[in-house]
Structure 1
Amino acid sequence: MSIFKNLPAAPVAEKKPVTDTRHGISRTDDYAWFRADNWQAMFKDPTLLDPAIRSHLEAENTYMEAALSDTKPLQEKLFEEMKGRIKQDDSSVPMKDGPYAYGTLFVTGGEQPHYFRTPRDGGEKQVLLDGDKEAEGKDYFRLAGIDNSSDHTHGIWGYDDKGSEYFTLRVRNLATSEDLDDVIENTGGGGAWAPDGKSFFYTLQDENHRPSKVFHHIIGQPQSTDRLVYEEKDPGFFMGVGGSLLEDWIFIDIHDHETSEYRLLSTADLTAEPVIVAKREEGVEYSMTEGGDVFYILTNDGDAKDFKIMEAPVTAPGKENWKEVVPHEPGRLILSHLAHARHLLWLERRDGLPRIVIRDRATGEEHAIAFAEEAYSLGLQGAAEYDTDTIRFSYSSMTTPSQLFDYNMVTRERVLLKTQEVPSGHTIDDYVTRRVMATSHDGALVPVSLLYHKDTKLDGSAPCLLYGYGAYGISIPASFSTNNLSLADRGFVYAIAHIRGGKDKGFEWYETGKMEHKQNTFKDFIAAADHLVKEGFTSYDKIIAEGGSAGGMLMGAVANMAPEKFAGIIAAVPFVDVLTTMLDDTLPLTPPEWPEWGNPIDSEEEYSWIAAYSPYDNVGAKAYPPLLAISGLTDPRVTYWEPTKWVAKLREYSTGDAPILLKTNMAAGHGGKSGRFQRLEEIAFEYSFAIKVAGKM
């Protein structure tokens, strides 16, 4: 490509063929050696990485730097623009909880959040946890927040300083901001307090990075004496622990991507064994919230594909006692629910747009909170207290900065607490947001959310960054991002393809984008690109595709299926070696992921589904566009060797001259660098690649 000139020779990975045979089918992997045998230990101590692997990753970083060296001034300019749109000394609106109100703030120049509290009705801030201070001297540092006890004397806080998502828990005296001697390592990152504030519950990660055990820790006692409350023997299930607003119950939530089970522990007897609510049934999901003398249960049980809400007495919450409260309505997907003393509320999505519905528990009267823009995002925060009529929610669109409201569920009064401040200035009317529909291969209509400057000519000449994800039922909101303004201001159309695999159009939208239907996800994304070209928003030689994690798998698939339709591709922490990973049941996420992708170990049919699209397995002799892959050395979700192998194979097979680039964060994991400005630097780097490829430098 003419835009990449005078590049040095790209790294050439050594081939060490390894053959694997399953169901009578043999595959040879020339680059399997990039998977370090000691990966579990290396995630906790990156210095243990095999020197040969480290040398190759560093060579890839050097090549990438050379290919993008001319974008350095642009990266700096983009970073300053993005930084200029952030209120550096920003502070959240504190949430009331008992005698205090709790919130977070950032200081000018600071990378990490500071957690604070004030007296309930306002007053001087008391900083409980200074994230910048805790992060001093560390290449990577990520806080898991701080959770105060009900008596407001102590807080549990957690941190990960490797990027491997093994969190260390500490207990802090909130009066003095000093930590106690309690230190618990290798946890999931949070805990649930017992009502007396003298003990808490937490999940422990096993050697394969799975939260397989729940423990009860008494403050001041050594970790070795913690009581094992529950152990999940099935490696195919995730597990979390939390508490109810009334602090009557500890919830143990056990689930994979399609099946749920809850176990309850009454806080009246912390030594008791947890009790099952409803035994796990394949394909049946449920989640719970407490409503005083009843539990409200959100479930897809029966034919409730888009979910319904049931209730059951707290004294007998078994499935045989569930009674319908909010019936199932096809096309109305209920996403989450909350209960307060006098109201039941839930977040739902209709026609791809979210709204909040509130029901008076005494009268059954309902009303909804919704907005009129073509595409927008709505977040339900609820309240930290049970006995309240006031909840909190957030709203934004691709042109409207985030707004935070307190809402009185009785009077229906809406109080604007805060509007996201853009210090460098933002005029809403300078930008346009739209939602268009692309027709996919089978006639399905795929929503595409758009943002562009009002002066952008829609004659096919505009470059476009087309983003997609499409997995796990996750819907990408059409929310406000100050970073995307840097693209819009340069004439880009920023587009989000709400493809199958997410739940943007209901649960069926998810079901028809997983397992044997996974190819719909990729075809939807290509259809979105086709529609944008057909309607004059852009042209094929100006579309840069972007996706991360499972969205990175999407990038790998469309690169194989339609490389000629993309000017460039950005694949962040891309899950591209799907078949090999799903065949390796020692990896952290493999058994829990089988309901999403298929189990190729046990099923030849499911093996064939994955083999048909797995990006690494389908690399072929074709002209791939310029491609930037980004990975994290200690990433437990998409291990560093997946993008490393993929880039090596792409470079081997590509018949074109476009560069295939790999950037490995040597001190970060799945989410990249942890500081807020460090993250902006990474986005500026990615966007500089897109702008260079689009010829807009």
Structure 2
Amino acid sequence: MSPEATPDVVPHPPVADRRPTTREIHGETRTDDYEWLREKDSEDVVAHLEAENAYTEARTAHLADLRAAIFDEIKARTLETDLSVPTRNRGYWYYGRSFEGKEYGVSCRVPVSDPDDWTPPQPAQDCAPDEPALPGEELLLDLNALAEGHEFFSLGGSAVSPDGHLLAYSTDVVGDERYTVRVLDLRTRELLGDEITGVLGGATWDRDGGELYYTTTDEAWRADKIWRHRLGTPQTDDELVFHETDERFWVGTGRTRSDRFLMVASGSKTTSEYHFLDAEAPEKGLQVFAPRVEGLEYNLDHAVLGGQDRFLVLHNHTGDDFELATAPCATTAPDAWLPLIAHDSAVRLEDVDAFAGHLVVHQRSQGLTQLRVLELGDDPAAPVTDDYLVEFDEEVYTVGSGGNPGFHQPTVRLGYTSMAIPSSVYDYDVRTRELTLLRRTPVLGGYDPADYEEHRLWAPTEDGEQVPISIVCRRGARADGPIPVLLYGYGAYEASIDPYFSVARLSLLDRGAGFAIAHVRGGGEMGRRWYDGGKMLNKQNTFSDFIACARHLVDTGWTTPERLVAEGASAGGLLMGAVANQAPQLFGGIVAGVPFVDALTTMLDASLPLTVTEYDEWGNPEDDPTVYATMRGYAPYENVIATDYPPILAETSLNDTRVLYVEPAKWVAKLRATAVGRRDVLLRTEMSAGHGGVSGRYKSWHDRAFSLAWILDRMGLADPAAD
């Protein structure tokens, strides 16, 4: 079916009532016809959302077979009964298992048989669900059993106690990200009486395994309190360890890899502060490392350098792209931090992992991720004996470390992927400098990365920047001219959308489409200046960059506007709404997931979840007229005009606590009332999910199949005859 075709019977779209509300702000009267949709528990609101869902289902009914085909393709390419590479920690190898027909996985472990052997054991790939994959296998958690009877299920986190006997895990069965922590005795398989509710994420054990530290939020959904829970006592007796009273800041906690320090991190978008609790001197309590100074950001970790205990400080005190320094394990002023890796404006230092014999630095340069190894020696005056990058050959790729819990381990577990190469797990042995591929996620059906081509393009902007674009398609797909392209973007919070592989994406590529990521300003791909260039009063650069990338793809013959579809979610949904207003003629369709499209209204209401903590990202439009005028100029909901918008699919979740469902609901209502021409706008609301959408892998596959079918329809690839 072509993009212009419609079903034989076109239902009428829901029409939201206009119920105007007004507000005076900075000398301007704002009138909002659809703010009444914010009343989540109102029968009128629920009825409207359900009517929108029914309309969307009717308008996309002709894609039912395509959705089923895409789901089947995802399923057929996925090894459903599978195992992860075991990770070693405290005398055990830990791994996950998944099974055909099951929405969720299970976690398992086996004892380490040889303490000197760091080669992960090879689990049996073809064993039945009731058979062990390795001798001595012990089941930790069966998420399918925990999810039974719930429409939604999410595991917030799990942590085994230092002695290996207890497992603390947290679950959310609503989608609002308020978790309940329980403790399982792994020796008896019985739950302890402890139950901690209202937790954000998981919990952290103390070094002795008798206490748990956890985080809770205030009414604005800001993580503000750290608590200590002693096993066997009621939650009402838990001790408040730290309370962050500044509404711009949030808190979190965790143990260092060395196990010596418990860290409490407090931070805003622009400022950091760490407190530490020394397990070898607990009587000193929490101590501040460096008191907060506006604009000073730092991360803190513990290392042993030249035989001496030191803090590693990754900070921006000497430059925007960060420096790695060392300091005593005590309160230390920034001027006393000693550089280990000096600031370099061409290299953005992002993180550091400390091990007994080496450090692993996460950095990026020219838009690509890199891993840097610093080997350590015994000389306190010169603790670093070598400093080098782990090298890879591909033009476009993403690399990072993970699954490295052991302080004394001689290997580094790496994750590697590109848009054509499935997620790959390597072990890098620092002693021999050998890189060993342990596993590459299988893609069934004869998949070959060589059948696809990846490129890094650079789109020029009007202000002289070059915006990187990562793009993939089937090899030779452009031989006959332009192809349909799905262009994805985000551009906020210094989050980098690095190249990644997707099984579901193959359903696009194998039908002749391309997939591209626009690495726009507001993200962190090109260093801190890239982030600063797309936030606050510079936010328009994010939208202009995306438009520049779209035009570059058209001008260089990759695609045409009619077959170019844009997609973004959350803050990327704000991007979608802005480019729909500013360059509707460039796109044949737009998908906006959980979109932050009513940004001005949200940022004008300090009582809403997360608003105050977002001031350093977007500004405070209530107090600052310049910020108000800037946001008023780009906020999608504010700038809907009488133009012919491309077809739009907005997707949201009723229980989302980050971007409330009301934002896309209001946006769609205003688009329908204001736009001219096609007015082809759909709203799809998951009535039992949160910000991340539905839970369970099969449900998520169906969810993605829905979006991909709509995208293919916009591209003119929905008809099998077009393949």
TM range (shorter): over 0.9
Question: Aligned pair count?
Answer: 685
Give the aligned partner of residue 202 of structure 2. 190
Q: Quote how far apart the aligned CAs of 1:353 are.
A: 1.1
Q: Deviations over 1:621-647 (max 9, x none)?
A: 111111000000010110010000000
User: What are the within-5 Å matches in structure 2 for residues 173-252 of structure 1?
Assistant: 173-252=185-264
SS, match of residue 364 in structure 1: strand
Supply the distance in 2 between the matched residues of 1:86 and 1:270 (Cα, whole angstroms). Answer: 49
Aligned to 1:89: 81
The whole-number CA distance in structure 1 between the counterparts of 2:10 and 2:245 is 52
- 5+ unaligned residues in a row in structure 2: which ranges? 114-120, 122-134, 378-383, 719-723
Describe the superposition over 1:382-419 as per-residue Cα deviations: whole angstroms up to 9, x where unpaired. 62111122110011111111211111112101121111
Check conservation: 1:15, 1:31, Cα contact below 8 A: yes
Q: Distance in 1 between matches of 2:48 and 2:659?
A: 18
Match of 1:305 in 2: 320
Q: 1:441 to 1:458 in 2, by over 3 A?
A: farther
Any stretches of 5+ residues in structure 1 without a counterpart? 40-48
User: 1: CA distance between counterparts of 2:44 and 2:248?
Assistant: 33
Q: Does 1:508 align with 2:520?
A: no
What do the CA deviations read for 1:246-286 (whole angstroms, capped 9, x no partner)? 22211111112221111112234657542211122222211
| Equivalent in the alignment of 1:608 | 629
Contact 2:85 2:438 in 1 (8 A): yes
> For residue 236 of structure 1, what is the amino acid of its counterpart?
R
Structure 1 Cα separation of the partners of residues 555 and 459 of structure 2: 10
User: Is the contact between residue 129 and residue 177 of structure 1 (CA under 8 Å) also seen in structure 2?
Assistant: no
Runs of 4+ in 1 over 6 A off after TM superposition: none
1:64 is aligned to 56
Match of 2:286 in 1: 274
Determine the structure 2 residue equivalent to 1:33: 36
The structural deviation recorded for 1:125 is: 2.0
Compute the displacement of 1:459 (Å): 5.2
Amino-acid identity (%): 40
| CA 1:268–1:221: 2 relative to 1, 3 Å | farther
**Offset from partner CA, 1:24-83 (integer Å, 9 cap, x none):** 1221111111112xx6xxxxxxxxx22111000000000000110011110010011111
How far is the alpha carbon of 1:322 from its aligned partner? Answer: 1.5
Is the 8 Å Cα contact of residues 244 and 251 (structure 1) preserved in structure 2? yes
1:680 and 2:696 are equivalent in the alignment: no
Distance 1:654 1:32 in 2: 19
1:468 to 489, 494, 515: 489
Are the counterparts in 2 of residues 153 and 197 from structure 1 also a CA contact under 8 Å? no
CA distance in 1 between counterparts of 2:75 and 2:91 reads: 36
Query: In the alignment, what sits opposite 1:481?
Result: 502
The structure 2 residue matched to 1:132, chosen from 144, 148, 162, is: 144
- Alpha-carbon shift at residue 4 of structure 1 (Å): 2.3
What's the counterpart of residue 24 of structure 1? 27
Residue equivalent to 1:148: 160
Once residues 403 and 31 of structure 2 are traced to their aligned partners in structure 1, the CA distance between those partners, rounded to angstroms, is 52
Does 2:416 correspond to 1:404?
no
Provide the residue aligned with 2:104 in structure 1: 112
Distance (whole Å) between structure 1 residues aligned to residue 536 and residue 166 of structure 2: 45
2:6 to 4, 7, 24: 4
Answer yes or no: is the 8 Å Cα contact 2:371–2:390 preserved in 1: yes
**Does structure 1 retain, via aligned residues, the 8 Å contact 2:642–2:674?**
yes
Q: Which residue of 1 aligns with 2:124?
A: none
Q: Does 1:427 align with 2:448?
A: yes
1:588 and 2:609 correspond = yes
Residues 620 and 430 of structure 1: CA distance in aligned 2, closer, same or farther (over 3 Å): same
User: Per the alignment, in what secondary structure is the counterpart of residue 394 of structure 1?
Assistant: strand
Residue identity matched to 2:607: T
Secondary structure of the equivalent of 1:617? helix
Distance 1:88 1:216 in 2: 39
Matched-pair contact (CA < 8 Å) for 2:158–2:203: no
Query: Deviation at 1:145?
Result: 2.8
Are the aligned partners of 2:157 and 2:203 in contact in 1 as well (CA < 8 Å)?
A: no
Contact 2:288 2:331 in 1 (8 A): no
Are residue 75 (structure 1) and residue 67 (structure 2) matched?
Answer: yes
Counterpart Cα distance in 1 of 2:520 and 2:481: 23
Aligned residue type for 1:3? A
Label 1:14 to 1:460 Cα distance change in 2 as closer, same or farther (>3 A): farther
Distance across 1 between alignment mates of 2:416 and 2:257 = 24
Post-superposition Cα deviations, 1:123-160, rounded to whole Å, max 9, x if no partner, equal: 33211000001001100001123111111111110111
Q: Secondary structure at the match of 1:71?
A: helix
Kept in 2, the 8 Å contact 1:277–1:319? The answer is no
3-state SS of 1:554 partner? helix
Quick one: which of 319, 327, 330 aligns to 2:334?
319
- SS of the residue 1:129 aligns to: strand
2:287–2:331 contact (8 Å) kept in structure 1:
no
Segment of structure 1 superposing worse, 155-164 or 207-216: 207-216
Could you tell me how far apart the structure 2 residues matched to 1:249 and 1:457 are? 55
Q: Structure 1 residue 466: deviation in Å? A: 0.6
- Does 2:387 align with 1:366? yes
SS of 1:527's partner is helix
